[in-house]
C-alpha cells in the first residue's frame, strides 16, 4: 500500500552502500546528494508541504547518461525510484523514501524550430520555460495552465491547458519522446518508432520509463489574448449560467469556474471572504472576437469583482503563483458527463464548507479538440467527459491538516455521485487504501497499458504512488 506523508517521519533514509555510492559518483556528470550532504534537506522537498520523504540519494541529472546511471543503480540495488520533473504532483510522486530520486530539474533546455513549429523540451523544464521560448515566435504547446508546473509530469498524465478545446491536450501535441527504460535502454518513441511505448507515454507516461526529451508540435497563439476573470456571489446561479454558456462555447474558448472565498478587493466589503464563484476564461483567437465571445461570462449578474482584460498568453499562466511551494495541498478530481442542477448544488455547498479560504471546488470545461481524439488513441481516457471537477484543498496551518483533509475527502467522495468513474491522474489526491488511480485515469485503456508496461518495466521499477497492476509504494 502506498503511504502518504501527512504524518511526520524524522528517521534518516536507508543509506546507499559505500561501493554503490562511489560507483554512482564516478559515473555522473551531475551531482548526487545523500542525507549527509549539505542541501539534501532542501533538495528532498517538493511543492506539497504535506510530503516529507527521505530518499537514499537524489541524483541531479545533467544528461541522459546520468539518468541511465541512476536507473542502473536502482535496478542493481533493488531500490524504489522517484522521477522528478517540476516536483508539483500533489502526492509528491517525484520523491521516494529510501530510494533513488532521479531529479531532472537541471535538464530544462527548450529549443524551438519556428519554421517546423516544433519544440524540443528537456524533462526539467517548467511550463514557464516552454512558454518563454515558444511565445518569442508567437507559438505555444497545449499543456497545463500554470507556469511553475513541470512540463514532464503535466504532459505524461495528459496536460489539460488553456488550449485544450482548440488544440487538444499536451499529449495530443507530443510528436516523439526519448525514454530511458527500466533496463537502462535508450529508446525514441513516436507514431513510427516503439509505437506501443509512445501510446503508453501519453496518459500513463510515469509508469513506463524516464522521458529525457519531449518533442511538441506548436500552434500559433497570442501574444495577446482576451481573458475573463470575474467573481459572483450567487454561486449556484452563476454556475448554471456558466453551464449554459459552456454548452455553446466555440473551441477557441477554454474556461473554468472555481468556487472559493470572495477576493479581498471584492465589492462590497461585506462579501470579502464569503462564498463566491470565479469564472476564468481564455480565447485562443483574435482578441476582439474573443472579447465578444467571452462577454456573456461577465454579464451573468452584478459581479463582485471583474478583472477581465486583454493580457499576454504567457502572463495568463502566472495563475499558479497563487499556490506557493510548501503550503499544504490535497487536490483530487472526478470526470463528469454533465453539470446537473443537483451537482451544481453539491459543488456550491461543499465549497462553502471548506475550512480554508484558499480552497476551492473547481469545474473545468473540457470537450472540443481534446474530446475528438479517439479514446483508444492514447492511454489517457475520459476524453468524452464534458467537465472535470476538482476538489482543491490548500491551507497553511499544520494543525489544521485533519480538518482540511477530511473536508476534501468527504467532498470528493460525495461528488462521486455525479462522476463517470474517471479521474485525472494529475489531480489524484494522496492515494487512499485500495484505490487504483491508474485504472480510474486510463479506464478502457488500462489492460493495454498493463501489457505495454510489462514489456518495458517487467519488474515494476516505476511504481511510486500510482502503480499499474496494484498499489504503488513510497518505501
Ligand atoms: C499550481 C498547479 C496548477 C496545476 N494546473 C494544472 C493544469 O492546469 N492542467 C493540468 O493538466 N495539470 C495541472 N496541475 C497538475 C500537474 O499536471 C501535476 O501536478 C503534474 O504531475 C506536475 O508535473 P511535475 O513534473 O511538476 O511534477 P513531478 O512531481 O515532478 O512529476 C509528476 C509525476 O510524473 C513523473 N515524472 C516526472 N517527470 C518524468 C519524466 N521525465 N519521465 C517519467 N516520469 C516523470 C513523476 O515521477 C511523477 O509521478 C497543476 C498542478 C499545480 C501544482
Nearest CA to ligand 1 atom 33: 153
Q: How many domains does the chain have?
A: 3
- Share above pLDDT 70 across residues of the chain, in percent, rounded to a whole number: 95
CA of 19 relative to ligand 1 center, distance in Å: 33
| Cβ–Cβ < 8 Å for 266, 286 | no
Q: Is there a contact between 124 and 163 (Cβ–Cβ < 8 Å)?
A: no
**38 domain residue, yes or no:** yes
Q: Are strands 81-84 and 100-103 parallel, antiparallel or unpaired?
A: parallel
- Counting from 1 in the atom list of ligand 1, the atom nearest the Cα of 206 is 44
- Average pLDDT of the segment spanning 291-311: 97
With contact defined as beta carbons under 8 Å apart, do 64 and 345 qualify? no
Cell of 415: 461528488
Average the pLDDT over each of 120-124, 243-247, 429-433, 459-463 and give the range with the smallest value: 429-433
Point out the least confidently predicted range of 131-145, 235-249, 423-437: 423-437
Q: Stretch 159-174: mean pLDDT, rounded?
A: 98
Does 413 reside within a domain? yes
Q: Given ligand 1 and candidates 82, 103, 127, 150, which is best to mutate, with the most ligand atoms within 8 Å of its CB?
A: 150
Task: Provide CB contacts within 8 A for 365, sequence distance 6+.
Answer: 165, 246, 249, 254, 255, 256, 386, 387
State yes or no: pLDDT of 348 exceeds 50. yes
Q: How far apart are CA 80 and CA 460, in angstroms?
A: 9
- Cβ distance 48 to 5 under 8 Å? no
Q: Residue 473: pLDDT band by 50, 70, 90 thresholds? A: very low
Torsion of CA 274, 276, 282, 288, to 10 degrees: -100
DSSP labels for 128-186?
Answer: HHHHHHHHTTTEE----S-TTSBHHHHHHH----TTHHHH--TGGGEEEEEEE-TTS-E
Which of 364, 392, 367 has its CA nearest to residue 382? Answer: 367
Which residues, including other chains, have CB under 8 Å from residue 363's CB and lie 6 or more apart?
239, 242, 256, 257, 258, 259, 339, 347, 387, 388, 389
**What pLDDT, on a 0 to 100 scale, did the predictor assign at position 268?**
85
**Residue 269 shares a structural domain with residue 406:** yes
* Cell (9 digits) for 221: 497563439
Mutate to test the pocket of ligand 1, among 47, 144, 359 (most ligand atoms within 8 A of CB): 144
Q: Contact at 8 Å (CB) between 181 and 455?
A: no
Ligand 1 atom closest to residue 104's alpha carbon, by position in its atom list: 41
The CATH number assigned to the domain holding 212 equals 3.30.465.10
Which of 93, 120, 149 maximizes ligand 1 atoms within 8 Å of its Cβ, making it the mutation to test the pocket?
A: 149
Ligand 1: lining residues by beta carbon, under 6 Å: 47, 82-90, 93-94, 104, 123, 144-146, 149-150, 152-154, 156-161, 205-206, 210-211, 320, 323, 426, 465
Query: Do 179 and 254 share a structural domain?
Result: no
CA distances from 415 to 347, 361, 388, 433 (A): 8, 10, 11, 19
Contact call for residues 366 and 164 (beta carbons, < 8 A): yes
Per-residue confidence (pLDDT) for residue 292, from 0 to 100: 98
Q: How high is the pLDDT of residue 144? A: 87
| 136 in a structural domain | yes
Where is pLDDT greater, at 205 or 372?
372
DSSP characters over 40-104: HHHHT--S-TT-----SEEEE-SSHHHHHHHHHHHHHTT--EEEESSS--TT-TT--TTSEEEE-
Confidence (pLDDT) at 17: 84
Of 220, 248, 275, which residue sits at a domain end?
A: 220
Higher pLDDT, 466 or 143: 143
Does residue 234 sit in the same domain as residue 210?
no
Residue at a domain's end among 371, 391, 418: 418
- Per the CB < 8 A criterion, the answer to whether 87 and 101 are in contact is no
Q: Are residues 37 and 117 in the same domain?
A: no
Q: What is the CA radius of gyration of the chain?
A: 22
- Is 256 buried (19+), middle (13-18) or exposed (0-12) by CB count in 10 A? buried
**Would you state the pLDDT for residue 11?**
65
**Between the CA atoms of 151, 157, 162 and 165, what dihedral angle is there, to the nearest 10 degrees?**
140
Residue 456 within a domain? no
70 with 197, same domain: the answer is no
Residue 427 C-alpha to ligand 1 middle, in angstroms? Answer: 9
User: Could you tell me the distance, in angstroms and rounded to a whole number, from the CA of residue 94 to the centre of ligand 1?
Assistant: 9
In the predicted model, what is the mean pLDDT of residues 145-173? 97
DSSP annotation of 278: E
Domain boundary residue among 159, 189, 220?
220
Secondary structure letter of residue 13 according to DSSP:
P
**Residues 183 and 325 occupy one common structural domain:** no
> How many angstroms does the Cα of residue 17 sit away from the middle of ligand 1?
31
Residue 311: which domain range? 224-418
Spacing, Cα 326 to ligand 1 middle (Å): 16
Instruction: Give the mean model confidence (pLDDT) for residues 138-142.
Output: 97
Structure confidence by residue, pLDDT tens digits, 57-92:
999 999 999 999 999 999 999 999 999 999 999 999
Taking the centre of ligand 1 as the mean of its atom positions, its distance from the CA of residue 86, in whole angstroms, is 7
403 shares a domain with 304: yes
Q: Do the beta carbons of residue 51 and residue 7 sit within 8 Å?
A: no
- Reading the block at residue 232, the C-alpha cell is 459572483
**Residue with the three cell numbers 466555440:** 250
Record the cell numbers describing residue 422, joined without a space: 474517471
CATH of the domain at 53: 3.30.43.10
The protein residue whose alpha carbon is closest to atom 44 in ligand 1 is 206
Amino acid at each position: 500500500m502506498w503511504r502518504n506523508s501527512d504524518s511526520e517521519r524524522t528517521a534518516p533514509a536507508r543509506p546507499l552502500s559505500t561501493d554503490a555510492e562511489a560507483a554512482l559518483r564516478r559515473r555522473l556528470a551531475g551531482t548526487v546528494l545523500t542525507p549527509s550532504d549539505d542541501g539534501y534537506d532542501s533538495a528532498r522537498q517538493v511543492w506539497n508541504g504535506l510530503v516529507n520523504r527521505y530518499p537514499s540519494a537524489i541524483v541531479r541529472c545533467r544528461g541522459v547518461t546520468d539518468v541511465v546511471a541512476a536507473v542502473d543503480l536502482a535496478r542493481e540495488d533493488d531500490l524504489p525510484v522517484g522521477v522528478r520533473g517540476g516536483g508539483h504532483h500533489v502526492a509528491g510522486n517525484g520523491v521516494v523514501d529510501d530510494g533513488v530520486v532521479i531529479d531532472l530539474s537541471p535538464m530544462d533546455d527548450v529549443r524551438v524550430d519556428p519554421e517546423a513549429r516544433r519544440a524540443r523540451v528537456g524533462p526539467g523544464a517548467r511550463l514557464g520555460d516552454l512558454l518563454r521560448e515558444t511565445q518569442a515566435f508567437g507559438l505555444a504547446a497545449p499543456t497545463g495552465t500554470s507556469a511553475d508546473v513541470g512540463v514532464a509530469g503535466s504532459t505524461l498524465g495528459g496536460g489539460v491547458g488553456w488550449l485544450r478545446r482548440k488544440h487538444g491536450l499536451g499529449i495530443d501535441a507530443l510528436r516523439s519522446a526519448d525514454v530511458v527504460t527500466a533496463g537502462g535502454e535508450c529508446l525514441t518513441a513516436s507514431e513510427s518508432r516503439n509505437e506501443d511505448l509512445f501510446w503508453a507515454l501519453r496518459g500513463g507516461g510515469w509508469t513506463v520509463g524516464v522521458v529525457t526529451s519531449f518533442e511538441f508540435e506548436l500552434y500559433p497563439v497570442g501574444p495577446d489574448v482576451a481573458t475573463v476573470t470575474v467573481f459572483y456571489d450567487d454561486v449556484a446561479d452563476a454556475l448554471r449560467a456558466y453551464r449554459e454558456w459552456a454548452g455553446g462555447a466555440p473551441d477557441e474558448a477554454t474556461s473554468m469556474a472555481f468556487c472559493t472565498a470572495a477576493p479581498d478587493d471584492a465589492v462590497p466589503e461585506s462579501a470579502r471572504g464569503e462564498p463566491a464563484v470565479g469564472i476564468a476564461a481564455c480565447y485562443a483567437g483574435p482578441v476582439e472576437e474573443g472579447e465578444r465571445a467571452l462577454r456573456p461570462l461577465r454579464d451573468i449578474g452584478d459581479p463582485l469583482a471583474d478583472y477581465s482584460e486583454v493580457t499576454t498568453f504567457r502572463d495568463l499562466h502566472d495563475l499558479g503563483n497563487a499556490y506557493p511551494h510548501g503550503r499544504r495541498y490535497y487536490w483530487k478530481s472526478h470526470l463528469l458527463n454533465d453539470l446537473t442542477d443537483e451537482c451544481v448544488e453539491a459543488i456550491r455547498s461543499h465549497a462553502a464548507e471548506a475550512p480554508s479560504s484558499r480552497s476551492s471546488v473547481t469545474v473545468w470545461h473540457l470537450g472540443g479538440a481534446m474530446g475528438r481524439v479517439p479514446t483508444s488513441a492514447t492511454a489517457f481516457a475520459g476524453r468524452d467527459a464534458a467537465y472535470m471537477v476538482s476538489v482543491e484543498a490548500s491551507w497553511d496551518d499544520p494543525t489544521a491538516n485533519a480538518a482540511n483533509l477530511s473536508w476534501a475527502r468527504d467532498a470528493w467522495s460525495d461528488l462521486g455521485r455525479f462522476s463517470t468513474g474517471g479521474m485525472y491522474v494529475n489531480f489524484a489526491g494522496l492515494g487512499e487504501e485500495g484505490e487504483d488511480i491508474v485504472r480510474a485515469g486510463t479506464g478502457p485503456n488500462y489492460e493495454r497499458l498493463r501489457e505495454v508496461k510489462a514489456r518495458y518495466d517487467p519488474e515494476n521499477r516505476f511504481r511510486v504512488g500510482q502503480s499499474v497492476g496494484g498499489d504503488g509504494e513510497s518505501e
